[in-house]
Amino acid sequence: MFTVQQIKLAHSKVKSGADFPNYIQELIKLGVVFYETYVDDGHTDYLGLEAYKVTTDSCSNKLVINHVSDETNFKIDLKAHQEGKTDYTTFCIDCAKSGIEKWSVDLVKMSCTYYDKAKNIILVESIPSF
């Protein structure tokens, strides 16, 4: 089974959204099948087979999630992040401003889903096959 340290090592290689495909491949090799990241405190729950779960620590800097989601701005910020124009911290700040509470990544379905505070789905993206 995977450890938080292994996940942190894989995540340390992510400098922008452009690095996301390699990160996903590393997680799959580790045995991660699903994870959920919470924007407000930065913790992530990683799940493996047979209900195996590890959780990363929360960040000391808490973000306030906007109560009103802004799908248009979020998509602009996401595109910039995926093009490598912003780092992970900036992306999280942008998510909070756009009302994104969390995102979940399903490594079996190869999808990433973004949610607002009301648990509404704001966007579902397919993760390209490699």
- Annotated domain spans of the chain: 4-126
Which residues, 6+ apart, have CB-to-CB distance to 108 below 8 Å?
33, 34
Rounded distance between C-alpha atoms, residue 120 and residue 49, angstroms: 27
Share of the chain above pLDDT 90, in %: 77
What angle (nearest 5°) sits at the alpha carbon of residue 24, between those of residues 126 and 82? Answer: 60
Question: Model-level pTM?
Answer: 0.90
Share of the chain above pLDDT 70, in %: 98
Q: How many CB atoms lie within 10 A of CB 14?
A: 15
Mean pLDDT of 64-75: 96
Q: How many CB atoms lie within 10 A of CB 54?
A: 18
The CATH homologous superfamily for domain 4-126 is YdfO-like (3.30.1810.10)
Rounded distance between C-alpha atoms, residue 105 and residue 110, angstroms: 7
Tell me the average pLDDT of the chain.
92
Mean pLDDT of 95-111: 97
Of 6, 63, 19, 13, the closest CA to residue 37 belongs to 63
Listed in sequence order, the DSSP H helices in 1-130 are 4-12, 20-30, 71-82, 88-97
Band (pLDDT 50/70/90 cuts) for residue 59 is confident
- Which pLDDT belongs to residue 130? 57
